[in-house]
A and B are shown apart, each in its own frame.
Chain A
Amino acid sequence: MTRKFLVLSLLFSVFLLSFSVGSFAAGTEAEEGKEDPTGFIMHHIKDSHEWHFVTIGHTHVTLALPVITYSADRGLEFYTSSDFQNHETHKFGKEYAHNGIFIDDHDHLGRVDGGSILDFSITKNVVMLFLVVAFVLYVTLSAANHYKKNGAVAPKGAASFVEPIVIFVRDEIALKSIGPKYKKFVPYLLTLFFFIWTGNILGLLPGAANLTGNIAVTFTLAMITFVIVNVNGNKDYWKHVFATPGVPAALLPIMVLVEFIGLFTKPFALMVRLFVAITAGHIVILSFIALVFIFESYSIGVLSTIMVTFINVIELLVATIQAYVFTLFSAMYIGGAVAEHHHDDHH
């Protein structure tokens, strides 16, 4: 039992325990949870113009985030979200309009005179996105620096964490799914894996934003995969879509339609899979926490905390698996696009 082992195991236990703090951190939202469990759950799942950490008694500990709007006649405008809310209750509403702009209680930005306005605010999810990016960059760049300084040696520090994952993605995911042309796509797949994994795991911490459970984020990731797959599609790939070999001429129009729609359903499935897995996991955890406030009994509290800890650990596993599945399927679609057609195995 070396000292390093003890320190590491202590840190790891604290890290693991922080996932169960989720059930304590929500403890001060008693009124809100009891009266409206749906609102309580949705508030933690959805994006928001402010970052609400905790409510102690009647004090809301929130971070007001910048609101950036653009409209053709008014131009680019910068506000802070506290301009648009009631200062005691921190609730948004149409009645707290400021300068002709309001944020309603569904967190939608609008203009009092009904004109069109675009919302480019730095919302909770955007801040979380920057945090995740900063984290991933820090870890991977530390690893890269280690190799730059020491050359191709056995890894130490951040590099020892990053290297097995990189080798796993490169060999098991990229090489196996894409084949000989895999090297070009490994950076993209690695970025995908690290970003989704970090976003999933950090989203489980109490007070964090639900980043990868936001359908706009998963839509963007799936769209990037879609663009990469179709830009790199070779002649055989497009022939399979628009002139599937081995199909009788009468069925060809239907096949073209089906294959064309298939181009879109695959990234769509990627998007929905990640969104649903993460959001549903968060909803389950939050439901168990809300249960404590609905029943307001000690025994339910104890049981609920145990369940929440257990489900949080499962969600850690789900976070990793969903990152792996997204990356693997992206690699498979890329592999399908760049595959060389072998004339010996005809359809």
Chain B
Amino acid sequence: MFMLTSILLTAGFALMGAGIGAGLVAIGAGLGVGRIGGQAMESIARQPEAAGKIQTAMLIIAALIEVVALFAVVICLLIALNAGGIAFF
């Protein structure tokens, strides 16, 4: 009986960790891409002729940062799927 609750507790902690992790990842991605966007806006304001080039570079770098965030999301998903399976036997 005690082992049952300790397994459920561990699984509960794992799921909580996955959830909090995914939230933190979202914050990280938001900060990163937001900074890129902000700097891009500033530089376009400074030099409107280069707007096309800056926009292209901004999109590419945003995709790179987004991938790092998605990598962490996949890890959180793996934790959630595997821990959730153990909890709901």
B-contacting residues of A (Cβ < 8 Å)?
38, 42, 272-273, 276-277, 279-280, 283, 317-318, 321-322, 324-325
Contact = CB atoms under 8 A, between A and B. Distances in A.
Contacts of A277: 63, 66-67, 70
A276 B63 contact: no
Contacts of A318: 63, 66
B59 A276 contact: no
A104 to B, nearest CB: 16
Interface of A is mostly: helix
B72 to A, nearest CB: 9
Interface of B: 59-60, 63-64, 66-67, 70-71, 73-74, 77, 81, 84
A301 to B, nearest CB: 24
A321 B63 contact: yes
Contacts, number: 31
A283 B22 CA distance: 14
Contact of A280 (B59, B64, B73): B73
B81 A325 contact: no
B63 A279 contact: no
Contact of A325 (B64, B71, B77): B64
Contacts of A279: 74
Given A38-B81, A273-B67, A276-B67, A317 B59 contact: yes
B78 to A, nearest CB: 11
B71 A272 contact: yes
Contacts of A276: 67, 70-71, 74
Contact of A321 (B60, B73, B84): B60
Contact of B63 (A38, A272, A283, A325): A325
Contacts of A321: 59-60, 63
A279 B67 CA distance: 10
A256 to B, nearest CB: 28
Contacts of B63: 277, 318, 321-322, 325
